[in-house]
């Protein structure tokens, strides 16, 4: 049986051994009725779990680039998103920055911070300018 997490950030175990990481503090701010909804419904809501976007809408989405980090708590969600966008023909690229965690770039002395920002700058130059 699914239960709602007691913390503001937790992995929910789903049927079949799947896990969905939910940042519940953010969701509560965006969806005030969150605590009144059934968990099984919540984890299938693409507005809360973007990877649940149906293929027919994903095909209409703009092309995307998925970037994550080797020790990122959202890594698997990012790779899942990349797989979905690839399947629907609108993935431009997917990258995993080695040796770092989610938000490593806030530490300007981290060895991977400069490469992370350079990667973003290169993506912007290639696709946005």
What are the extents of the domains in the chain? 1-52, 53-129
Instruction: Find the angle CA(10)-CA(12)-CA(13) to the nearest 5 degrees.
Output: 140
Is the pLDDT at 3 greater than 90, yes or no?
no
Instruction: Find the angle CA(27)-CA(84)-CA(39) to the nearest 5 degrees.
Output: 30
**Of 8 and 47, the one with more pLDDT:** 47
What pTM did the predictor assign? Answer: 0.73
DSSP letter, residue 28: H
Average pLDDT score over residue span 1-5: 46
Structure confidence by residue, pLDDT tens digits, 16-31: 445 555 566 667 776 7
**Contact between 78 and 68 (Cβ < 8 Å):** yes
In this prediction, residue 88 carries a pLDDT of: 96
**Of 90 and 12, the one with more pLDDT:** 90
Report the b/e string of 47-85 with b at 16+ CB within 10 A.
Answer: ebbebebeeeebeeeeebbbbbbeebeebbbbbbbbebb
In this prediction, residue 81 carries a pLDDT of: 93
Structure confidence by residue, pLDDT tens digits, 43-100: 788 877 788 899 999 999 999 999 999 998 889 889 999 999 999 999 999 999 999 9
């Amino acid at each position: 049986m699914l239960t709602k997490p007691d913390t503001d950030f937790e992995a929910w175990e789903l049927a079949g051994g799947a896990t969905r990481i939910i940042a519940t503090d953010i969701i509560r701010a965006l969806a005030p009725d969150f605590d009144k909804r059934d968990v099984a419904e919540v984890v299938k809501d693409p507005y809360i779990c973007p990877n649940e976007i149906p293929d027919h809408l994903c095909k209409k989405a703009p092309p995307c680039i998925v970037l994550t980090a080797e020790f990122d708590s959202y890594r698997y969600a990012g790779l899942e998103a990349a797989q979905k966008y690839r399947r629907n023909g609108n993935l431009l690229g997917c990258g995993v920055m080695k040796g770092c965690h989610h938000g490593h770039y806030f530490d300007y002395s981290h060895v991977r911070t400069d490469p992370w920002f350079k990667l973003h700058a290169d993506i912007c130059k290639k696709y946005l300018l």
